[in-house]
Amino acid sequence: MRIVCPGCKATYEVPPALLTSGRKLRCAKCANDFQPDPVASPPEAAPRLTRQPEPSPQALVRPGQEQTRPLSRQQRTLARPVAAGWAASLVVLVGLGWASLAWRMPIMHAWPPSTRLYAALGYA
């Protein structure tokens, strides 16, 4: 059964089983909620045309071809603390790695199972 959106005049081909009494539909083009008014279907010999919603801009981008947009001021403001957090985390990890090598003898003396780890790394 063919229905027409009263807001934008988009036409849709909908199975009659889906059109129950009192059911409202939402237009995919203009997002208008409406009660469907059936329109006479074209003759069966003619092909049935349905209006498909337009693809989103993201659907038009091919894989490996990303759209780049400049960041807004708010996004740049939010990105700074995140970058600072990542940098601080990296500094802490590098410091822990350095400390574990610089003080490996006291660590192996205090915690004997660590001797196997340092031996596997070639530092025992």
Rounded (to 5) percent helix, strand, coil in the chain: 40, 10, 50
Q: What is the residue range of 110's domain?
A: 85-121
Q: How confident is the model at residue 55 (pLDDT cuts 50, 70, 90)?
A: low
CA distance 5 to 20: 17
Tell me the pLDDT tens digit for each residue of 68-98: 677 777 777 878 888 899 999 999 999 999 9
Residue 75 lies in a domain: no
On whether the pTM is more than 0.75, the answer is: no
Residue 2 lies in a domain: yes
Q: Are strands 2-4 and 11-13 parallel, antiparallel or unpaired?
A: antiparallel
Residue 44 lies in a domain: yes
